């Protein structure tokens, strides 16, 4: 008897953000259709709902796929213990990861803190990911007057903003398998290099589907291997599989360090002097009005599509934390609300990596320059022009730093700095130096 429980009560501050709620609504709607609208939906505290349902239907066993968020682990352990004490059979499974976090450990039994040995020595040297199971053929369904209508869960945002997302996402298993097929057919062969260029379609766009279980990492892993069965040493394939490994590493860190979403893993960053009274800078960053075209393009892509290219996630994150000196947790919260693939493990591990305070983080002095990043990875400005249309008339020579263009070029291109496009909110060189000076204070 398949059921779904929206448990915002147990989630607390980590209940789904706005874009996630829309994607989840669409995914549940599609799943319900697949089940002839017989999916039973509930809302509230799962610790109370599940025992009541078991009594009502006389069930002797319950099965679920494990979740790895700290609040989920705590809740599910309580449910499991209580049900077992009542004589109910409880079986849980791994459906969302390739390897269990507690099974990949160093020789001394401690967890890895660096990605490469975690993935190369830990994961790849252990049991290979299992093959996916087929879809169940037969199913029973629950009949209950307590079931909720999907439209009453408060998942669908009241604003019209979510309608933009419908243009980019088919939140269904069919949509997931379509994305996977397109990627394997047309992008995997150029993935190692192509993934760095936001204007190219060289990424899989599978992250939200993995997040909500519309496709499993096992399906993706084995489909990628099958797409290139005669060349397992292929660099494009290896790089793509290692990106699945990065996802595993994020969950691994969250499991072993459950404070990851809120606490610097490197304690010296507790002394970092974040900028106070930064609301104005933060607002301009959020809405893509920093005056740096690549940053603004990334932030506008996020709000328009619920997604951001991974290189841009690094660049805009570096700009927030290091050029604006704004605490990484503010960026994490904005991503949590705006990303359709908002995932507690990947989001918090990613932001700690960007900030330099995580387990396997980029060195703090690695500060992405948005101008050189733009020139290198969007040389013709295709990505910028797509998301910052007010700059679309600028020649590619000047689109990376419009304030450096001659006044005649700006006028001819219809760009009025300070009017229809902002001047840079900080100086890149000066702000970089301030960031290094701030970092020096963590060593005291």
d(CA 282, CA 288): 10
Q: Give every CB contact of residue 198 below 8 A, 6+ residues apart in sequence.
A: 297, 298, 309, 311, 312, 377, 378, 383
Is residue 243 part of the annotated active site? The answer reads yes
Catalytic residue among 310, 375, 390, 403: 310
Catalytic residue among 22, 221, 285, 328: 328
Catalytic residue among 243, 375, 390, 403: 243
Q: Which residue has the tokens 């990875």?
A: 377
Is residue 169 part of the annotated active site? The answer reads no
Is residue 14 part of the annotated active site? The answer reads no
Catalytic residue among 99, 169, 285, 351: 351
Is residue 246 part of the annotated active site? The answer reads yes
Is residue 274 part of the annotated active site? The answer reads yes
Angle CA(161)–CA(32)–CA(71) in degrees, nearest 5? Answer: 70
Catalytic residue among 246, 375, 390, 403: 246
Is residue 221 part of the annotated active site? The answer reads no
Q: Which helix (H) or strand (E) holds 93?
A: strand 89-93
Catalytic residue among 274, 375, 390, 403: 274
Structure tokens at 412: 């001819």
Helices 293-305 and 310-318, packing angle to 10 deg: 120
Report yes or no: 259 and 309 within 8 Å, Cβ to Cβ: no
Structure tokens at 286: 């959020």
Helix/strand/coil percentages in the chain, nearest 5? 55, 5, 40
Q: Nearest-CA neighbor of 414 among 396, 399, 394?
A: 394
Burial class (CB in 10 A: 0-12, 13-18, 19+), 411: exposed
List the catalytic residues.
243, 246, 274, 310, 328, 351
């Amino acid at each position: 008897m398949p059921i779904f429980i929206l448990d915002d009560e147990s989630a607390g501050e980590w209940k789904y953000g706005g874009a996630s709620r829309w994607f989840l609504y669409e995914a549940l709607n599609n799943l319900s259709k697949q089940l002839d609208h017989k999916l039973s939906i509930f809302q509230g505290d799962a610790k109370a709902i599940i025992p009541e349902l078991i009594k009502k239907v006389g069930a002797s066993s319950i099965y679920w796929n494990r979740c790895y968020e700290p609040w989920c682990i705590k809740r599910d352990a309580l449910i499991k213990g209580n049900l077992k004490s009542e004589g109910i059979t409880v079986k849980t499974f791994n459906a969302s990861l390739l390897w269990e976090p507690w099974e990949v450990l160093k020789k001394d039994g401690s967890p890895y803190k660096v990605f490469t040995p975690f993935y190369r020595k830990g994961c790849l040297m252990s049991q290979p990911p299992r093959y996916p199971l087929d879809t169940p053929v037969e199913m029973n369904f629950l009949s209950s007057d307590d079931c909720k209508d999907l439209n009453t869960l408060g998942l669908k945002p009241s604003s019209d903003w979510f309608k933009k997302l419908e243009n980019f996402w088919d939140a269904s298993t069919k949509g997931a398998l379509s994305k996977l097929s397109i990627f394997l057919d047309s992008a995997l062969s150029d993935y190692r290099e192509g993934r760095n260029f936001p204007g190219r379609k060289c990424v899989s766009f599978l992250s939200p589907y993995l997040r909500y279980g519309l496709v499993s990492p096992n399906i993706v892993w084995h489909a990628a291997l099958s797409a290139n069965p005669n060349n397992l040493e292929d660099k494009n394939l290896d790089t793509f599989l290692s990106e699945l490994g990065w996802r595993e590493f994020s969950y691994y860190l969250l499991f072993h360090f459950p404070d990851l979403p809120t606490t610097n893993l490197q304690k010296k960053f507790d002394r970092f002097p974040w900028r106070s009274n930064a609301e104005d800078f933060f607002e301009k960053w959020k809405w893509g009005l920093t005056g740096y075209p690549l940053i603004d393009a990334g932030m506008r892509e996020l709000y328009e599509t619920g997604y951001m290219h991974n290189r841009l996630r690094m660049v805009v994150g570096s700009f927030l934390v290091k050029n604006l000196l704004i605490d990484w947790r503010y960026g994490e919260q904005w991503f949590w609300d705006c990303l359709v693939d908002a995932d507690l493990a990947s989001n918090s591990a990613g932001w700690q990596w960007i900030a330099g305070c995580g387990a396997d983080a980029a060195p703090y002095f690695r500060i992405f320059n948005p101008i050189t990043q733009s020139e290198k990875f969007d040389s013709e400005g295709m990505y910028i022009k797509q998301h910052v249309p007010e700059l679309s008339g600028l020649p590619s020579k000047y689109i990376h730093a419009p304030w450096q263009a001659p006044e005649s070029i700006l006028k001819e291109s219809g760009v009025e700095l300070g009017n229809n496009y902002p001047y840079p909110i900080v100086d890149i060189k000066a702000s970089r130096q301030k960031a290094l000076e701030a970092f020096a204070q963590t060593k005291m």
